[in-house]
């Protein structure tokens, strides 16, 4: 997705240890027009997948998720990273490890929002080790629903997440794929 | 906003202690069409306020916030409830107390995203005691910017938040105002 790639080039900041900071348009400040284009692009790519619901995880997944849900004309669910006192009904819980924050979180989804047989599109802002996406996929499958695909805004292709998801049989569509973050520069995977 | 009121009547669940659960369309599962209408309504109400940025707080504020930002054609910033390891630059920090969760959180915004003189519209999903909105307003003012207004999806008018914000001089626009949550039922404030 060229618009997104240009945004990464112009505004992304490479920190040490393979970290790309995109807080001017994706992770803290958000560009609503770019988010809408992200939603439209996921909708084009997953148009044939009969998606009934979009599932993401708080917080940075919500904006691309709601725009995708709007375009696909289905609800969005965002998984929470911990239990909320106002969610008292039955919930699915999966543990995921965040390498960025170096903590394990429980991610939770209320059972009533995923029905057996649903086709759930998972959307997230970043794909690195794949922990969050795999946790979300396990929740979908616990519900007796199926994963219609996994839409990622920025894939760090030098980390194992994309391979893990594909080996597990999921269709992964990443809008930008980063080959390396070295010497303060972003290099992209050459598209075929 | 009649559409929202009907949604509260049909899908809202009154729990004890003044808690309204709206997790089927606002706090966990989200209705993207309703969120778009919320964004359009805030845009109508604050059209004359020369808004340059929308500010909200993770997580439930992000969907109404991004839709409002899209309609107003300005960026969205979401305040974080704790520091992230990938945010290393200078940040504004304010402490806010959550009565629902019974904890104090630091809310943070990177300084570079609010410039002096900006007109910032604060958007949030709920207004109860006003702690979050007041914390966000203090951040805007620390930055030398001004609060263009405060847009609330659901106001609990039986709690002191709206009064506190108005006494502090802010223009508050709430799309639904709830007079009471008693005996399992929602009653609304009669609009003049």
For B132-174, how does the pLDDT look when each residue is reduced to its tens digit (9 = 90+)?
999 999 999 999 999 999 999 999 999 999 999 999 999 999 9
What is the model's pLDDT at position A99? 79
**Nearest-by-Cβ selection for B85 from A76, A77, A101:** A101
Q: Which two tokens stand for residue A129?
A: 């080790």
Give B61's DSSP letter.
T
Q: Are residues B113 and A87, on separate chains, in Cβ contact within 8 Å?
A: no
Cβ atoms of A132 and A104 closer than 8 Å:
no
| Mean pLDDT across A37-66 | 98
**What ipTM goes with this model?**
0.95
The number of beta carbons lying within 10 Å of the beta carbon of residue B84 is 18
Q: Which domains, from first to last, does chain B contain?
A: 39-178 (3.40.50.2020)
Q: Tokens 């940040």 — which residue?
A: B91
- What is the C-alpha to C-alpha distance for residues B59 and B81, in angstroms, rounded to an integer? 9
Q: Are residues B58 and A63, on separate chains, in Cβ contact within 8 Å?
A: no
Q: Which two tokens stand for residue B99?
A: 């009565």
For A80-104, how does the pLDDT look when each residue is reduced to its tens digit (9 = 90+)?
987 544 555 589 999 998 877 788 8
For A144-155, how does the pLDDT look when each residue is reduced to its tens digit (9 = 90+)?
999 999 999 999
DSSP-derived pairing of the beta strands A29-30 and B76-79 = antiparallel
**Nearest-by-Cβ selection for B113 from A29, A80, A88:** A29
Q: A82: helix, coil or strand? A: coil
Cβ atoms of B163 and B136 closer than 8 Å:
no
Distance from CA of B142 to the nearest CA of A (A): 18
Q: A2: helix, coil or strand? A: helix
| Chain B residues near residue A29 by CB distance under 8 angstroms | 75-77, 110, 113
For A174-191, how does the pLDDT look when each residue is reduced to its tens digit (9 = 90+)?
999 999 999 899 999 987
| Chain A residues near residue B83 by CB distance under 8 angstroms | none
- pTM of this structure: 0.95
Does an H or E element contain B42, and which? helix B32-45
* Closest chain B CA to residue A76: B30
């Amino acid at each position: 997705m060229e618009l997104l790639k240009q945004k990464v080039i112009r505004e992304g900041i490479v920190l040490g240890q393979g970290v790309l900071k995109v807080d001017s348009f994706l992770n803290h400040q958000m560009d609503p027009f770019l988010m809408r284009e992200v939603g439209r692009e996921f909708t084009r790519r997953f148009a044939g997948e009969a998606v009934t619901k979009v599932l993401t995880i708080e917080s940075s997944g919500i904006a691309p998720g709601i725009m995708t849900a709007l375009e696909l004309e289905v609800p969005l669910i965002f998984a929470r990273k911990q239990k909320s006192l106002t969610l008292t009904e039955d919930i699915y819980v999966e543990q995921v490890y965040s390498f960025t924050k170096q903590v394990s979180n429980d991610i939770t989804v209320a059972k009533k929002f995923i029905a057996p047989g649903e086709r759930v599109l998972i959307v997230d802002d970043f794909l690195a080790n794949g922990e969050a996406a795999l946790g979300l996929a396990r929740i979908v499958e616990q519900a007796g629903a199926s994963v219609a695909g996994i839409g990622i805004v920025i894939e760090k292709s030098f980390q194992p997440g994309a391979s893990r998801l594909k080996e597990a049989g999921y269709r992964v569509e990443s809008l930008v794929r980063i080959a390396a973050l070295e010497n303060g520069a972003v290099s992209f995977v050459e598209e075929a």
